[in-house]
């Protein structure tokens, strides 16, 4: 047996205990806040394990792994510290159950109920209080060695767990979508109404974890990127084609609820791409983006509504152009006085403008014109079709938003590579030096601000068409914050990043309405994790990646070099 170089290092028991205490706080938190009980309603694998139990298992594994790492122990030596850390966390749950028998905790923690205790003890209640302690310690013990496994073993485990979690979360949607197609029989085999079937779980794990390993072992990625350009296209274009087709048929196959959600996602993609010019390229942090969204929406409302407050009865499309232009004019009016200020101060000023517009829209002052909280109703659909038509309902908004987003992506892509894009980037990097090189700051910033405003106005116009009405309560600070988060999470200045950001931050939460109570909790956790582990965004621009992962690419490059001299 080889002695690992670490084996003479003392195991740091104190750190393991500390990790255990932190883990105890986490375990208590997820239980009494109610995450575990709510997730217990859904199955991961039908009749075998619920999502709530999965949360507990993953917590125990995680605490074990962290405990072993904190104790600086690897391999067989990691078993004891991992067991200790996870045991402390499990002990906290045991203590919770015992305390709960004596004192009624429900006055403060609604979820500290007998239901929770039954969940934790497999229905045994107080007499099974020892179960969390023992099961956490047992599962946590596994976490230690798992964490010190080499990547080749750890990767398939990670893939399998992620596959199961995602598949189980989306099982209902997949199932109902496939039931209307020839795949109905397959759907019944793979998916239960909530969660996966045993066969489904096994099949999906083999397909995804196995497939990923196959791709990794055969070096498909490297081979494809090593191909000459023409051949690479031959390989990649069919893949893009299939993806594009999937995007096109998505609202048709997944039902009206999902269609509504994807339409909202497409709308936020559009807004994200708009702010990507202002914030991503020019670096102007605009927290009042919703103001221009409001201008676009209300303009369309006023010009098209057939109900009260409507002034022109225009068709939808005729109203879009003045909506966009008016948003641009507002961008200029609001932008001119404030673009001289920088950074945080600009953010505060734009935040103020956004709030002013929001308050004005709901105010008594403008009520005779904008309808106040009652809003403007009866905004016509962009395309008038019978209700059973392929373009009826949210589907048509989805396609319209998709086309507009594609258009904006094209505009943003072209601008980025132009002299204006370079000027914006230089302002983001160092505006003093940019000005000293002859870049007119006011002009250049104003253009970025106005273009962003125009795209927000377009988004507002489409939103008005989607909802069919516009209320002052639709104009919320939350919209601005969502859009900023999309740009930052996706990757500043990155066009595919804005798309992915919108899918993650808008689409996924919408699909899990039943967990909506915890939406901001997960939002916050996701944002903190992003800033810690991937500050450049999900799909960063070229240089941002290099900046943060240079070491990895350099060593990789050296390893690929052939030996130049023999002995």
Partner 1 sequence: MPLLVAKGITKRFGGLVAVRDLDLEIEPRSIVSVIGPNGAGKTTLFNCIAGWYRIDAGEIAFEGQMISKLRRDQIARLGIGRTYQNIRLFAGMSVVDNVLVGRHHFLQAGWIASVMRTRGVQEEERKAHDEAVRLLRFVGLEGGVQSQASKLPYGDQRRLEIARALATEPKLLMLDEPTAGMNPAETHRMTEFIGRLRDELGITILLIEHHMRVVMGISERITVLDYGEKIAEGAPREIQANPRVIEAYLGRGAATAHHSTRPQPDPGTGEAPAP
Footprint of partner 1 on this chain (CB under 8 A)? 410-411, 414-415, 418-423, 425-426, 429-430, 432-441, 447, 451, 543-544, 546-547
CB of 491 to partner 1, least distance (A): 13
Between 18 and 422, name the residue whose CB sits nearer to partner 1. Answer: 422
CB of 551 to partner 1, least distance (A): 13
SS (H, E, C) 426-471: HHHHHHHHHHHCCCCHHHHHHHHHHHHHHHHHHHHHHHHHHHCCEC
Alpha helices in 339-393 (DSSP H): 343-361, 367-370
Closer Cβ to partner 1, 334 or 425, answer by number: 425
Q: Which of 277, 285, 280, 331 minimizes the C-alpha distance to 460? A: 331
State the minimum distance, in angstroms, from the CB of residue 247 to partner 1: 23
Cβ distance to partner 1 smaller for residue 44 or 447: 447
Identify the burial level of 437 via C-beta atoms within 10 angstroms of its C-beta, where 0-12 means exposed, 13-18 middle and 19 or more buried. Answer: exposed
Q: How far is the CB of 438 from partner 1 (least distance, A)?
A: 4
Work out how close the CB of 328 gets to partner 1 at its nearest, in angstroms, rounded to a whole number. Answer: 12
For residue 250, the tally of other CB atoms under 10 A from its CB is: 18
CB of 156 to partner 1, least distance (A): 35
* Residue 520 or 543 having the CB closest to partner 1: 543
How many CB atoms are closer than 10 A to CB 519?
14
Least distance to partner 1, CB of residue 494, Å = 13
Nearer to partner 1 by Cβ, of 153 and 543: the residue is: 543
In the complex, minimum distance from the CB of residue 429 to partner 1, in angstroms, rounded to a whole number: 4
State whether residue 49 is helix, strand or coil: strand
Q: Which is nearer to partner 1, 517 or 547 (CB)?
A: 547
Question: Could you say which DSSP state residue 562 is in?
Answer: P
Closest residue by Cα to residue 361 from 454, 471, 465, 466: 471
Nearer to partner 1, 480 or 541 (CB): 541
Q: How far is the CB of 326 from partner 1 (least distance, A)?
A: 18
Q: Using CB atoms within 10 A of its CB, is residue 218 exposed (0-12), middle (13-18) or buried (19+)?
A: exposed
- The vertex-295 CA angle with 319 and 348, nearest 5°, equals 160
Residue 381 backbone zone (phi > 0: left; psi -120 to 50: alpha; other: beta): beta
Question: Do residues 131 and 73 touch, judged by C-beta distance below 8 A?
Answer: no
Please identify, using beta-carbon distances, which residue of 154 and 546 lies nearer to partner 1.
546
Q: Which is nearer to partner 1, 514 or 547 (CB)?
A: 547
| H runs (alpha helix) in 254-387 | 255-275, 290-304, 316-338, 343-361, 367-370
Instruction: Specify the residue, 45 or 328, whose C-beta has the smaller distance to partner 1.
Output: 328
CB of 430 to partner 1, least distance (A): 6
Provide the Cα torsion 206, 209, 213, 215; round to 10°: 90
Q: What is the CA radius of gyration of the chain?
A: 27
């Amino acid at each position: 047996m080889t002695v690992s170089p670490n084996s003479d290092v003392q195991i740091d028991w104190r750190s393991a205990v500390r990790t255990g205490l932190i883990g105890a706080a986490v375990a208590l938190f997820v239980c009494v806040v109610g995450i575990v009980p709510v997730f217990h309603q859904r199955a991961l694998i039908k009749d075998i394990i619920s999502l709530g139990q999965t949360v507990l298992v993953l917590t125990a594994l995680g605490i074990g792994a962290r405990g072993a790492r904190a104790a600086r122990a690897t391999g067989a030596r990691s078993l004891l510290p991992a067991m200790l850390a996870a045991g402390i966390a499990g002990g906290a749950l045991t203590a919770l159950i015992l305390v709960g028998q004596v004192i009624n905790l429900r006055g403060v923690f609604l979820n500290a109920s007998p239901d929770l205790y039954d969940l934790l003890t497999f229905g045994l209640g107080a007499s099974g209080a020892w179960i969390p302690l023992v099961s956490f310690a047992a599962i946590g013990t596994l976490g230690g060695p798992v964490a010190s496994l080499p990547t080749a073993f750890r990767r398939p485990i990670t893939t399998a767990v992620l596959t199961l979690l995602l598949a189980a979360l989306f099982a209902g949607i997949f199932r109902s979508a496939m039931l209307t197609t020839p795949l109905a029989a397959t759907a019944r085999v793979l998916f239960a109404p909530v969660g996966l079937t045993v066969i489904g779980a096994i099949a999906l794990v083999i397909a995804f974890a196995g497939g990923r390993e196959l791709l990794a072992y055969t070096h498909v990625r490297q081979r494809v990127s090593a191909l000459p350009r023409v051949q690479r296209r031959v390989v990649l274009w069919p893949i893009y084609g299939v993806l594009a087709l999937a995007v096109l048929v998505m609202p048709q196959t997944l039902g009206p609820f999902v269609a509504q959600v994807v339409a909202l996602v497409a709308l936020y993609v559009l807004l994200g791409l708009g702010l990507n010019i202002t914030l991503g390229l020019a670096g102007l942090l605009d927290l009042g983006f919703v103001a221009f969204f409001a201008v676009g929406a209300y303009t369309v409302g006023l010009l098209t509504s057939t109900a009260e407050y409507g002034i022109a009865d225009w068709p939808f499309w005729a109203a879009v152009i003045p909506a966009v232009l008016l948003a641009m004019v507002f961008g200029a009016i609001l932008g001119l006085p404030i673009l001289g200020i920088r950074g945080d101060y600009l953010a505060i000023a734009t935040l103020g403008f956004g709030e002013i517009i929001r308050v004005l829209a709901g105010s008594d002052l403008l009520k005779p014109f904008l309808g106040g909280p009652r809003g403007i109703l009866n905004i016509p659909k962009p395309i008038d079709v019978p209700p059973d038509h392929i373009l009826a309902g949210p589907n048509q908004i989805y396609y319209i938003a998709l086309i507009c987003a594609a258009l904006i992506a094209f505009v943003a892509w072209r601008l980025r590579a132009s002299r204006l894009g370079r000027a914006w980037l230089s302002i983001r990097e160092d505006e003093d030096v940019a000005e000293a090189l002859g870049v007119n700051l006011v002009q250049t910033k104003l253009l970025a601000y106005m273009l962003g405003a125009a795209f927000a106005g377009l988004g507002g116009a489409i939103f008005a068409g989607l909802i069919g009405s516009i209320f002052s309560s639709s104009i919320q600070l939350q919209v601005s914050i969502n859009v900023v988060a999309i740009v930052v999470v996706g990757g500043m200045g990155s066009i595919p990043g804005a798309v992915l950001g919108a899918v993650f931050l808008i689409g996924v939460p919408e699909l899990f309405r039943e967990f909506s109570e915890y939406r901001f909790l997960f939002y916050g956790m996701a944002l903190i994790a992003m800033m810690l582990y991937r500050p450049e965004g999900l799909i960063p621009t070229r240089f941002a990646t290099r900046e943060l992962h240079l070491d990895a690419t350099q060593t990789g490059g050296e390893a690929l070099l052939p030996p130049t001299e023999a002995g």
